[in-house]
Amino acid sequence: MTTMSGRKVLHMVVILVAVMVLAHGVVVKTSAAANPQQRGIASLQDTLRPTIEVWNISRSAYEGAPFTAWADVRDPVSGVRNVSLTIQDSAMNRTEYELLHNGSYYVASIDRLQSNRSHELWILAYDMANNSATTYHLTVNLIESTYTPIDPWATMPTVVSSSLALTAMVICVAVVYDKRRAWEELLEPTESAPDEGQVASSDV
């Protein structure tokens, strides 16, 4: 009877210890997941830059009006810390705008770009481990063109009159040249052939 009771007590002790170990493990795991320090450890181990899947700006930017910039940025290891839009104009002025996450994308509303300048825009993203990623550059050209198209109907009278004047001048020069040649031929002295009498007398 005593032996059976001892075995039951030992069995219950083993079960109790096992339950305590399992419970302790669950508590430790849960507290570690909830502890923000664990995220810091993950960020220290993160060496991969965040991924910028796609980004763009609204068409109104090219029309010199306020526009929207958006980007799809992800970092599954340590998380995204910051996403910004960088704008640099042709005068080398640079401005950064922070994009905020709206549940799907990082978005920002941007004022109209300065007119009569060219602008380059790109996205810059950082994760919690300070890894950075950047995108290709978009160019928005707001420089006004100084080219004035030529109206053929406005320039046609000038072209026609110039052509007629040149033609008339060429004709006058040709007429004057012909008249001069005619007078030169008329005034040239002509040598008359000696008559037979003179030839005979000279022979004698």
| Domain end call among 141, 160, 191 | 141
| Domain end call among 90, 119, 141 | 141
180 located within any domain: no
pLDDT tens-place string over residues 126-165: 999 999 999 999 999 999 876 666 666 666 666 667 778 7
Domain count within the chain: 2
Domain that holds residue 78: 48-141
The pLDDT score that the predictor gives to residue 17 is 62
pLDDT tens-place string over residues 158-198: 666 777 878 878 887 877 777 777 776 666 665 555 555 55
Give yes or no for residue 96 having a pLDDT over 70.
yes
Q: Are residues 59 and 137 in the same domain?
A: yes
163 located within any domain: no
| Domain end call among 141, 159, 184 | 141
36-66 core/surface letters (b: 16 or more CB in 10 A; e: else)? eeeeeeebeebeebbebeebebeeebeeeee
Round to whole Å and give the CA distance between 127 and 52: 11
194 located within any domain: no
Q: Are residues 64 and 33 in the same domain?
A: no
Q: Are residues 109 and 124 in the same domain?
A: yes
Q: Are residues 32 and 57 in the same domain?
A: no
Q: Are residues 120 and 102 in the same domain?
A: yes
125 within 8 A of 50, measured Cβ to Cβ: yes
Q: Are residues 63 and 137 in the same domain?
A: yes
- Letter for the amino acid at 82? N
Q: Are residues 52 and 99 in the same domain?
A: yes
178 located within any domain: no
pLDDT tens-place string over residues 28-83: 344 444 455 555 555 668 999 999 999 999 999 999 999 999 999 999 999 999 99
Q: Are residues 12 and 64 in the same domain?
A: no
Q: Nearest 5 degrees, angle CA 8-CA 11-CA 17?
A: 140
- pTM equals 0.54
Taking Cα atoms as reference points, which of 91, 77, 191 lies closest to residue 128? 77
160 located within any domain: no
